Structure 1
Amino acid sequence: MDKISKEIARITYNALDEKKAEDIKVIEIGDITIIADYFIIANGTNSSQVQALVDNVQQVLAKHGYEPKRIEGVRSASWILLDYGDVVVHIFSKEDRLFYDLERIWRDGKVVEREQLEV
């Protein structure tokens, strides 16, 4: 995984944590797919928090010069995807996270702990 995607993952993790996202998971998937290097999965407790998480991730990454290539699901506020190329951020409502269970689907990836993201 390259240094830039690791930096984006670290900044994203911290931005989610700052707004009290629940159960932040970083999954390294670069060895099993060409989609991305990392999936970051988190959830909020309600639609307002989900939106606050999305806004904070975008603002903090923009300050570091990173803009999303694509954003999906903003209107629903139950599963929002922020595509930063090699890092894809999934921010869910609690119910949708359980329903879609991306951690199970991507279980062949390697879960990365916060400390491992420090450059």
Structure 2
Amino acid sequence: MTSQEYCKIAVAALEDRKAEDVKIIDIREISPVADYFVIADGTNQNQIQAMRDACEEALYKAGLKTKQIEGNSSSTWILMDYGDIIVHIFSKEDRLFYDLERIWRDGKIVDVADL
């Protein structure tokens, strides 16, 4: 399976848990860190945790295991490292504060339908 297909699975799992403002940034040409960032935010702690669990389960079932997860049940930013894709789940406030879209603006925002 390709990193694009894994992105689609991650986005579907996040959206299934009512994630807001889901974005995919293609960073293949600007960073060796990963191919894609998937960024989403949730409205409260329970939703953020549910988004994490759903994403982790969906990618695991697709055969992709996490290399590392940063953040716990009380975190307002969870980073899930899958190697070629990195999933960032934020509270709205932390997403605005850290503004990964601005930091990684040299990457290309892509629509899940275009993957």
Question: Whole-Å Cα distance in 2 between the matches of residues 46 and 76 of structure 1?
Answer: 10
**CA offsets, 1:40-87, max 9 Å, x none?**
100000010000000000111111111100000124320000000010
Q: CA deviation at 1:7?
A: 1.0
Instruction: Provide structure 1 residue ranges, at least 5 long, that are not aligned to the other structure.
Output: none
Instruction: Provide structure 2 residue ranges, at least 5 long, that are not aligned to the other structure.
Output: none
Superposed, 1:37-116 pairs within 5 Å as: 37-116=35-114
After superposition, the CA RMSD in angstroms is 1.0
Percent of residue pairs bearing the same amino acid type = 57
Question: Whole-Å Cα distance in 1 between the matches of residues 61 and 84 of structure 2?
Answer: 18
TM-score, structure 1 normalization = 0.93
Identify the residue that residue 9 of structure 1 maps to in structure 2: 7
TM-score, structure 2 normalization = 0.96
Q: How many residues align?
A: 115
Runs of at least 4 residues off by over 6 Å: none
Q: Does the 8 A contact of 2:24 with 2:110 survive in 1? A: yes
